[in-house]
Amino acid sequence: MLSRLQFLSLVLISLFLIGCNKPESAAQPIPEVSVVVATPSDVPIFSEFVGKTVSSRRIEIRSRVEGFLEKRLYDEGTMVKEGQVLFQMDRKPFEAQLSAAKAELAQQQARLTNAEANLARVKPLAEQNAVAQKELDDAISMYRSSAASVEAAKAKVLQADLDLGYTDIYTPVTGVSSFARKREGSFIGIGQDSLLTYVAQIQPMWVEFSISENQIFQLRANQESGLVRSPESEEYVVKIELADQSMYPQHGKITFADASLSEETGTFLIRAEIPNPEKSLRPGQFVRAQIHGAVRPQAILVPQRAVQQGAQGSFVWVIEDGKTKFQTVKTGPWHGDDWFIEAGLKGGEQIIVDGALTVRPGIEVSTVPYQAATKTGKG
């Protein structure tokens, strides 16, 4: 009989022989990947900057005369219309000044009438040598002096009438009112003490943002090299994204670009004008200003997840003659969910998007078209 050790040895040898006679495993299945064709096309692009809404006209409402503030005739923070009276000063002192000026005018007109009558009497007598020449000269001088006094009195009446009119303080523009700096009963002076409130015109609205010197140089270089094509007549369209990431429905245009570089920030100030018919934009809001109109001619876009990083930099997997191939590329800026490819692809290549992590060079793959939503991006 076999010993226990001999029996175990026979069992192990049998298992080894069974393992050696096991048939080879089935061939690996062909991996399935999604692909996109690199197609050159003119791609609209935009640049984005952080901006701030500014009133197109911010008017200081000031008093033009000294006196006591009697009434505030508007609700603070509300819309006020052009010509609407916002404040009223005490009119009584100004009415008294106007009455006094009118009385002085009447007095000077009476003196002029008397001087005119005196000159009319003296002049024919002087022609007949019935009176001395000095009397004629005095009569002429009195007439001219009285006439000048009448003109001065008329000016005082006009000034007093203007001062009385200035007691009604109105807004020259339609806009949003600020809070009142002075209260009823306050004495209003001239100069710095005359500020009563502000009115901000918000239709249209301005959006101000800054462009750095380097960005200007880069834009010029891209235009000169043909990488970027500007719109005709440099008519860029300005769109703004609000704080809640929604797009404001109205579009505007650039109306001002500062000629000099700010020494404090090293940037150029740019201003855009945006229609605001619904008055929904208010001064002081932070927005993202998007400058549309430029185009990248014959650009190639590749989905971001199709681009991988390796020891030699960025690369993609392409399918050539039915097999996978490693291809290095030079990427540009993002464009929504895609990359601009600035070098490495000529167009027409099949680029693997989904499933790229499962492939290696020179293998066959099964392909399906890649589907993605088209988005406008930055450039």
Stated pTM of the model: 0.72
Average pLDDT (361-376) is: 76
pLDDT score of 9 more than 60: no
Burial class (CB in 10 A: 0-12, 13-18, 19+), 86: buried
Average pLDDT (80-88) is: 96
pLDDT score of 376 more than 50: no
Q: What is the pLDDT of residues 271-290, one digit of tens each?
A: 999 999 999 999 999 999 99
CB count within 10 Å of CB 41 equals 12
Question: In this predicted structure, what is the pLDDT of residue 2?
Answer: 47
Q: What is the pLDDT of residues 124-138, one digit of tens each?
A: 888 888 888 888 888
Q: What angle is formed at CA 348 by the lines to CA 344 and CA 349, rounded to 5 degrees?
A: 55
Portions of the chain given CATH number 2.40.420.20:
32-43+298-378
Q: What is the pLDDT of residues 231-248, one digit of tens each?
A: 888 889 999 999 999 999
Report for 91-95, 134-138, 223-227: range of highest mean pLDDT: 91-95
Portions of the chain given CATH number 1.10.287.470:
91-166
Portions of the chain given CATH number 2.40.30.170:
46-56+202-295
Decide: helix, strand or coil at residue 4.
helix
**Residue of 28 and 303 predicted with greater confidence:** 303
The CATH class for the domain spanning 91-166 reads mainly alpha
CATH architecture of 32-43+298-378: Beta Barrel (2.40)
Q: What is the pLDDT of residues 336-351, one digit of tens each?
A: 889 999 899 999 999 9
Burial class (CB in 10 A: 0-12, 13-18, 19+), 90: middle
Q: What is the pLDDT of residues 32-53, one digit of tens each?
A: 888 999 999 999 999 999 999 9
Question: In this predicted structure, what is the pLDDT of residue 14?
Answer: 53
* CATH T-level topology, domain 46-56+202-295: Elongation Factor Tu (Ef-tu); domain 3 (2.40.30)
Question: 37, 86, 13: which is closest to 370 by C-alpha?
Answer: 37
Asked if 342 contacts 332 with a C-beta cutoff of 8 angstroms, the reply is yes
Question: What is the percentage of the chain residues whose pLDDT exceeds 70?
Answer: 91
Mean pLDDT (the chain, rounded): 88
Question: What is the percentage of the chain residues whose pLDDT exceeds 90?
Answer: 62
